[in-house]
A = this chain, B = another copy of it.
Amino acid sequence: MPATIRDIKNRTGLSLATISKYLNGGNVLPKNKKLIEEAIEELHYEVNEIARGLVTNQSKLIGVMVYDIESFFSGSILHYISYEMRKRGYGVLICDSYNNEEVEKQNLKFLLNKKVDGILMLPVNLSGAFVRPAREASVPVVLIDRSFTDDEYDFVGIDNRMAAFRAVSRLIENHHRKIAVITSDVEYTGMARLEGYRSAMYQAGLPAPEKYQRLGRHSFELGYVSMKQLLALDDPPTGVFLGNYETTLGGIMAVNELGLSWPEDISIIGFDDLIVSKVVRPKIWMAVQPMGEICSKAVEILMSSIEEKKEQITPVKVHFGALIREGSSIRDMEET
């Protein structure tokens, strides 16, 4: 049985209140302070956070909801978030929605039941209607990476349209005219990136035929299959923009398997810099999200909402710029 505040009361002869005050950073006479500290040491006392939570109405827990914990992106996010929260003494409750809208709704309720002090979410639902219970319970929610189409919450991520625009521009600048895209048209980020691709093409006066737009839910398989299809076309593209990490990985694998190589046979620029890109040669051009910054910003916003429990004023949206990192996977088509 762990020691309680009562044990240290008996040991020091002080009252519960004094000890409690000390524990919460209040002023206590030096000699009492010493007394308490000694007792804590001896008894290996540690505050029972769940008891404290009952009275302060805080659990020192936050919930993190991810659309798919098996995705590479989630792992990275979770890494940074758990690090940030640990520093602040918060526990991180994880919920996996495995890309299922219904499950996500239940997860939210589950977390609310657990009395989390706040929620960080990488949502699968495009609509934010299901988040209402959190708002009603005035549990702050911060969105990461993806936002809703119909409701506003605090958000931290990148400007996806712009990132894609800039990535595709890199191909255009290198005089590519036949540029394809592999991305999602059913997820928030994918849709924005698709738009970025289309804008860039349009603005450069280049055609963006449907056969060059391979869409579906972001996945390794989408990248793999689409890349093979693109390269098998009668009139294949010379450059391909891959819309996220999974598709990038799949696309790379496909090119390799076909015995082709970049930038000689095909130019590519991918998205999201996780493990693989560190090691693949020739190095691949990448639109890189600042994961660490995104997470620490999201945590910062969440924490301030938790602390000032004032009603949500107006949602804040933070968009970082993606870094377009240089590689050797784009060939200049004019130097032919």
Contacts and interface: CB of A to CB of B under 8 A. Distances in A.
Contact of A79 (B92, B96, B107, B280): B96
Contacts of A111: 91
Contacts of A93: 61, 91-94
A96 B70 contact: no
A223 to B, nearest CB: 9
A46 to B, nearest CB: 6
A279 B79 contact: no
A274 B107 CA distance: 25
Interface in A257-297: 257, 259, 261, 274-276, 278-281
Contacts of A50: 50, 53-54, 59, 115
A48 B107 CA distance: 17
Nearest to A116: B91
Contacts of A61: 91, 93, 114
Interface in A39-79: 46, 48-51, 53-54, 59-61, 64, 69-72, 74-76, 78-79
Main secondary structure on A side of the interface with B: helix
A69 B82 contact: yes
Interface of A: 2, 46, 48-51, 53-54, 59-61, 64, 69-72, 74-76, 78-79, 82-83, 86, 91-96, 98, 107, 110-111, 113-115, 137, 220-221, 224-225, 246, 249-250, 252-253, 256-257, 259, 261, 274-276, 278-281
Given A92-B95, A220-B276, 6 more contacts: A61-B91, A82-B96, A92-B93, A221-B279, A257-B281, A259-B261
